[in-house]
Amino acid sequence: EAGVTQSPTHLIKTRGQQATLRCSPISGHTSVYWYQQALGLGLQFLLWYDEGEERNRGNFPPRFSGRQFPNYSSELNVNALELEDSALYLCASRGPNEQFFGPGTRLTVL
Partner 1 sequence: DQQVKQNSPSLSVQEGRISILNCDYTNSMFDYFLWYKKYPAEGPTFLISISSIKDKNEDGRFTVFLNKSAKHLSLHIVPSQPGDSAVYFCAASAQYFGNEKLTFGTGTRLTIIP
Closer residue to partner 1 (CB): 17 or 68: 68
CA dist 77 and 55 (Å) reads 17
Q: Does 90 bind partner 1 (CB under 8 A)?
A: yes
- Residue 98 CB, shortest distance to partner 1, in Å, is 4
Question: For partner 1, which residue of 28, 42, 62, 70 counts as binding (CB under 8 A)?
Answer: 42
What is the rounded end-to-end Cα distance, in angstroms, of the chain?
A: 37
Nearer to partner 1 among residue 85 and residue 104 (C-beta):
104
**Residue from 25, 33, 68, 85 in contact with partner 1 (CB under 8 A):** 33
Residues 6+ apart with CB under 8 A from 69: 52, 75
Determine whether 60 is exposed, middle or buried from the number of CB atoms within 10 Å of its CB (0-12, 13-18, 19+).
Answer: middle
Residues within the interface to partner 1 (CB under 8 A): 4, 31, 33, 35, 40-45, 48, 56, 58, 90, 92, 94, 97-104
